[in-house]
């Protein structure tokens, strides 16, 4: 969280709180009578397609990477219900969303092609010749 109220994803991206939508519902699981009366499960929705925090490249990358998590309206949904406190579940949902977006925006380092070393090529060829020689020795040799 930042002082002005946005959800900090990384140094380059901060999602305004006005774009986050929270919904609370009753959580399942243990908790006795408390679970039947309190709405502690938190569902966090963030619309990727309409967000002002993203530039076009970031939006395209998120839509590609999070395609399985984006619904028909362009919302990413994160649910948290591990805690018995709505506030803690809300904080956990925000943390999960920030982590999800940060990972999706991470651009993998391009692989640089490398050639095998001279020693490794020689070792491979030596091993092939040895293997060939071994098989050659196993063949039937009809001297009789």
Domain residue ranges of the chain, discontinuous segments joined by +: 7-105
Buried b (16+ CB within 10 A) or exposed e, 34-62: eeeeeebbbbbbbebeebebbeeebbebb
Give the tens place of pLDDT for each residue, 104-139.
888 889 999 999 999 999 999 999 999 999 999 998
Residue 39, phi then psi, degrees to nearest 5 = -95, 90
Say if residues 61 and 89 touch (Cβ distance below 8 Å). Answer: no
Do the beta carbons of residue 101 and residue 78 sit within 8 Å?
no
CATH number for domain 7-105, candidates 3.30.930.10, 3.90.105.10, 3.30.160.20, 3.40.50.300: 3.30.160.20
Q: What is the pLDDT of residues 68-77, one digit of tens each?
A: 988 888 889 9
Entry pTM? 0.69
Q: Which residue in 28, 36, 120 sits closest to 81, CA to CA? A: 28
Q: What is the pLDDT of residues 41-79, one digit of tens each?
A: 889 999 988 888 888 898 899 888 888 988 888 889 999
């Amino acid at each position: 969280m930042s002082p002005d109220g946005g959800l900090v994803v990384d140094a380059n991206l901060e999602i305004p709180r006005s774009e986050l939508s929270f919904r609370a519902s009753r959580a399942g699981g243990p908790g006795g009578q408390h679970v039947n009366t309190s709405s502690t499960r938190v569902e966090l929705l963030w619309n990727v397609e309409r967000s002002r925090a993203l530039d076009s490249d970031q939006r395209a990358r998120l839509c590609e990477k999070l395609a399985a998590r984006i619904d028909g309206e362009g919302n990413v949904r994160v649910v948290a219900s591990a805690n018995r406190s709505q506030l803690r579940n809300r904080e956990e949902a925000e943390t999960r969303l920030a982590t999800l977006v940060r990972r999706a925006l991470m651009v993998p380092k391009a692989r640089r092609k490398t050639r095998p070393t001279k020693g490794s090529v020689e070792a491979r060829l030596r091993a092939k010749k040895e293997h060939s020689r071994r098989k050659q020795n196993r063949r039937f040799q009809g001297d009789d």
